Amino acid sequence: MTFAMGLLEREAFLAEARFGVLSVAQEDGVATLAVPIWYAFSPGQEVVIHTHRHSRKAQLIRTTGRFGICVQADTPPVRYVSVEGPVTSESDVEPGAREAMAHRYLSPQMARAYLKATAEQQVGASAAFHMRPTRWRTANYSAMSLDPSS
C-alpha cells in the first residue's frame, strides 16, 4: 500500500492555511536553515513566501536560488507535503498580498493588529519569493486500516 498523495490531493493539502517550515541550504553546503514561515499557494501555481529583504532567509534563497517548504497536519493521522524547487522571481511585497497573507493565518482582529504593528514593512522592507514546485514528497496515513484483521 502506498501512502503518497496524488497531484490533486497534495496540491489541495498545500493550499490549506498551514504553517510551513522553510528549508534552504547554507553556504557550506552541509547545513540547512529551517524556520517556520507563512506561505501562499494555489493549485497549479507557485509557492510564495514573504520575508524581510535583508534577512538570513532572503540572503540564502538568493545565494542558492531555491528553497523547500514542508507542511503537516496538526493532528493524527500523519499527513504531510514537502515541496522544493527553484526561485522563479523576487519582488516587492504588494500591500494587498501582505494583507491577504496576514488574514490567511490570523483572525480578522489579530490580522488588523499585526498589520498595524508591522506597518513599516509595507514600504520596500519585505520581499516576495516565488518558487516553482519541482520535487514533491508526501504521505497520507488517513486511509490506513485500523482493523487488525485486514
| Domain assignment of residue 110, yes or no | yes
Instruction: For 17-27, write each residue's pLDDT tens digit.
Output: 999 999 999 88
| Domain assignment of residue 109, yes or no | yes
Give the C-alpha distances (Å, rounded to integers) separating 145 from 1, 78, 99, 121, 149: 11, 13, 42, 48, 9
Give percent of the chain with pLDDT exceeding 70.
92
pLDDT above 60 for 145: no
| Domain assignment of residue 145, yes or no | no
What's the CATH code of the domain at 23? Answer: 2.30.110.10
pLDDT above 80 for 124: no
Number of domains in the chain: 1
| Domain assignment of residue 149, yes or no | no
| Domain assignment of residue 150, yes or no | no
| Domain assignment of residue 95, yes or no | yes
Instruction: For 43-83, write each residue's pLDDT tens digit.
Output: 999 999 999 999 999 999 999 999 999 999 988 889 999 99
Return the pLDDT at 30.
Answer: 77
Q: What is the DSSP string of the chain?
A: ------HHHHHHHHHS---EEEEEE-TTSS-EEEEEE-EE--TTS-EEEEEETTSHHHHHHHHHSEEEEEEE-SSSSPEEEEEEEEEEEEEEPPHHHHHHHHHHHS-HHHHHHHHHHTGGGGTTTEEEEEE---EEEEEEGGGS---TT-
- pTM for the whole structure: 0.89
| Domain assignment of residue 147, yes or no | no
Domain span at 77: 7-140
